[in-house]
Chain A
Amino acid sequence: MSFDIFLQHLTNGISLGSLYALIAIGYTMVYGILRLINFAHGDIFMMATYFAFYGVITFGVPWYIVFPIVILLTASLGMTLEVAAYRPLRNAPKISIMISAIGASFLLENLAIVIFGGVNKAFPTPEVFTGVVQLGPVSLQKLTFYIPIITVIFLVALLYLINHTKTGMAMRAVSKDHETAGVMGIDVNKTISITFGIGSALAAIGALMWGLKFPQIYPLMGVMPGLKCFIAAVIGGIGNIKGAVLGGFILGVGEIMLVAFLPSDYTGYRDAFAFILLIVVLLFRPTGIMGEKISEKV
């Protein structure tokens, strides 16, 4: 395999990894603040693509107007989910909350099947995103090139928000200790809501780019990316945003390289790669690459 082709695969991997990273952040933020796997996160991602589909195709609104609205809509969907499915169980045993999360995920998927139909739909791809760019010896789809750039922009914005604003400080405080944060005058429920909003908004951004890159959308499209991105978050160290990004890239690049370098008999195992990686990481470093060690208080 020549170096050019390797570079080609690497860029593809980075592009896919960026998408994984954007979705993984939502998992990690919610886990950080609620210690909960938001099983429905992948389905929120799916919903975003349908919002865009209906906006652009059915209502014929230009994409640059639709896309921001989709991001806001998805954010509010995430916040609604938290209020409806998780807030009532805040003091319930963990297993109940996890089951509620699984229930929410299935509810969204099945609602999508009923409302949007089970058959694939073609995601609208505006002209600006089509075509090819030439980077030295490597020729890339424009999108493959744009995705990492857009991801980095939002990532920088997110890190600024978390580390340098009052909202970010509140989020960090709540993730350490709900009660103490509440006593310090932080509105815990509002902060959790905002966290879900931001996580869902990032999932929407990821979903829009995902739709542009793989323009087939269907109600169960969020399941696999959802699971993989959760895995990415665990690999990076759940609760840690930089870790989620790192995990996303490891998974994205790893998957593309695996398919590129393994004999074609084994490419069917592509989806197993994430799970195998997850189990290996959990065995040797249960708190992930950048995670902190937590010990239970006795």
Chain B
Amino acid sequence: MSQNMDMKKTSLIKADKITMQFGGLTAVKDFEMELKKGEIVALIGPNGAGKTTAFNMITGVYQPTKGKIILDNKQISGLKPDQITKMGIARTFQNIRLFKDLSVLDNVLIANHLHLKSNFLEAALKLPKYRREEKSMIEKSMYLLEKVGLADLRDEVSTSLPYGNQRRLEIARALATNPKVLLLDEPAAGMNPKETEDLTHFIKHIRDEFDLTIFMIEHHMDVVMGISQRIYVLDYGVTIAHGTPSEIQNNQRVIEAYLGVEEDA
């Protein structure tokens, strides 16, 4: 395992031995993770290894049983998900969680709400201050929808979109919260090779345009190996490896973990 700790000075987000227990079951044990600004890092591992649980701890959906998470030198573990989002972490969901009955545009607009400065009276009375904010929210949301190629579908009901578009909409929605760190939970799931390749470019592109740091869970190894600078490998809740793509590809324990799973299946 190679880990260059001398680059620590630009650390943006760091998980310090976070553990999640459900009753007697330890889903994730002493998970350590550190992302530097601008990095794209992947989290891989067999099904049920605890990857999404790790995401849920970072985003505040679960409170870690032990350990802490630091963003920009501030502790965020213990905060609620909406507070963490405000501090600059956005995410997508593995099992797509769009606001089903609402339009594509509304889905993105909702993610702007956290930055709204008008109060509900100013909003309900449609005062100029609110109108200005609403206008800029719409502009920003439309820009993001153009980015993900969904601008023409702004008035469609979100769940009427094909699967791949729903995943892209989730990304646009996450970007609307103005994140520093973007967590993608299996962004390429259900995509064909062409779409997967597009997605790979797209992830790099948004990283550059929006100045993001990206942490993603992914099973498509071509995506993972293609764009991530480093990879963490989880198995049964324990980090079994950490390193560059080529290091991970040749790591004996990683190979065993994956083969072991194949034997079970």
Contact = CB atoms under 8 A, between A and B. Distances in A.
Interface of A: 293, 295, 298
B93 interface: yes
A265 B75 CA distance: 53
B52 interface: yes
B22 A298 contact: no
Looking at chain B's contact residues, is the secondary structure mostly helix, strand, loop, or mixed?
A: loop
B60 to A, nearest CB: 11
Nearest to B97: A298
Q: Which 5 A-B pairs have the closest CB atoms?
A: A298-B61, A298-B56, A295-B22, A298-B52, A298-B93
Nearest to A295: B22
Contacts of B22: 295
A165 B190 CA distance: 44
Nearest to A292: B23
A298 B52 CA distance: 8
A295 B65 CA distance: 14
Contacts of A293: 23
Nearest to B55: A298
8 contacts: A293-B23, A295-B22, A295-B62, A298-B52, A298-B56, A298-B61, A298-B62, A298-B93
Nearest to B23: A293
Contacts of A298: 52, 56, 61-62, 93
Interface in B18-44: 22-23
B205 to A, nearest CB: 28
B46 to A, nearest CB: 18
A293 B52 CA distance: 20
A216 B22 CA distance: 50
Contacts of B93: 298
Contacts of B52: 298
A16 B215 CA distance: 59
Interface string B93-129: 1000000000000000000000000000000000000
Nearest to A296: B61
A293 B25 CA distance: 14
Contacts of A295: 22, 62
Interface in B75-107: 93
